[in-house]
Structure 1
Amino acid sequence: MSTAFDDVLAANEDYVRDFGLAGLEPVAARGLALVTCMDSRIEPLDMLGLKPGDAKILRNAGARVTDDTLRTLVLAVYLLGVNRVMVLPHTRCKMASVSGDAEVHDIIATQYGVDTRSLEFHTDNDQIGALRHDLERIRHHPLLPADLAVMGALYDVDTGRVTPVRE
């Protein structure tokens, strides 16, 4: 019986044959949590010179610091060895190219007939402004340490360059 997932399950069989990550500790060996976008053009480990086990990687649409992201960062800081956080959106992001959530809701309703108004997508066409806002959410979260190192940067999907954002 064929399924929509045969390709990835077959690839996993190849992966298992050469699997070399057994025994890795669950902590972030380099103390880093990276919040980035789910975009498949982003290779978080390679672009930052990391290897498996070095960082906790949180991905969502637009690399936004949502309530769930903050919950995960609290766990990462206190239970998983994280002592610094980088928030890293990217150029040519769909979530930054629309005028707001209303536009996304309209597109989905028009093209697919699905009413998504019960969801908040956290779109913002002022990508750097949204990034600065998200950095402040981390810095001022009452459950995160005041001395937690936090930075924002922008990843260029056309060059691979990570550019720190001045605050």
Structure 2
Amino acid sequence: MTGAFDDVLAANHDYSQTFEYSGLTGRAARGLAVVTCMDSRIDPLGLLGLGAGDAKILRNAGARVTDDVLRTLVLAVYLLGVDRILVMPHTDCRMAKSTDEEVHELINREFGMDTRSLEFHTVPNQDSALRRDLIRVRTYPYLPERLAVGGAVYDVHTGKLMPVDL
């Protein structure tokens, strides 16, 4: 693995020279799981005042609570010390600017790839999508009722969280 990855391999070499996290257990030290978007403008640990080992971070396009996110949350709750979940989409999200159909058409037009067998889980109404995802987590039969579940939208232009109540 060289060439296209030389920069990240060099950075990892430097990182490993002062690596200090070998004592972490894999459990969420602060009991938190965060479901957020894959957008590279989001630094989930930094914006929440967390460090390595404090939380489980689940990322996907649009910060959607998909079946795979629910599966991962079940594992995080029962095996990895999570007792609270924050669902955190963000402003200026590409998934909130198109429908699935528009994304399929764009990819087909620009790249000649037919992606219609995929569900992209776009969010034409981000507020209602977040509320629906919060309800999905709160009512999922494999997660305990005592679980604290919250939602907030992260503003990528100000760095502020805007809590959303159901």
- TM-score of Structure 1 vs Structure 2, range by shorter chain: over 0.9
1:121-143 CA deviation, whole Å, 9 max, x = no partner? 00011001000000011011010
Paired residue type of 1:30: R
**Structure 2 CA distance for aligned equivalents of residues 166 and 21 of structure 1:** 35
**Amino acid of the residue matched to residue 72 of structure 2?**
T
TM-score normalised according to structure 2 size: 0.98
Q: Which residue of structure 1 aligns with residue 151 of structure 2?
A: 152
User: What's the TM-score once normalised by structure 1's chain length?
Assistant: 0.97
Tell me the residue number matched to 1:45. 45
Give unpaired runs (5+ residues) of structure 2.
none
Identity among equivalent positions (%) equals: 66
Whole-Å Cα distance in 1 between the matches of residues 2 and 25 of structure 2? 36
Aligned AA (1:29): A
Q: 1:118-129, aligned counterparts within 5 Å? A: 118-129=117-128
Counterpart Cα distance in 2 of 1:50 and 1:11? 22
Runs (4+) of structure 1 exceeding 6 A deviation are none
- Aligned to 2:62, the other structure's residue is in SS state helix
Aligned Cα root-mean-square deviation (Å): 1.0
Q: Residues 50-90 of structure 1, C-alpha deviation per residue, up to 9 Å, x if partnerless? A: 01000000000000000000000000000000000000000
2: CA distance, partners of 1:124 / 1:91: 12
How many residues align? The count is 166
Secondary structure at 1:50 match in 2: coil
* Counterpart Cα distance in 1 of 2:76 and 2:25: 13
Residue matched to 2:105: 106
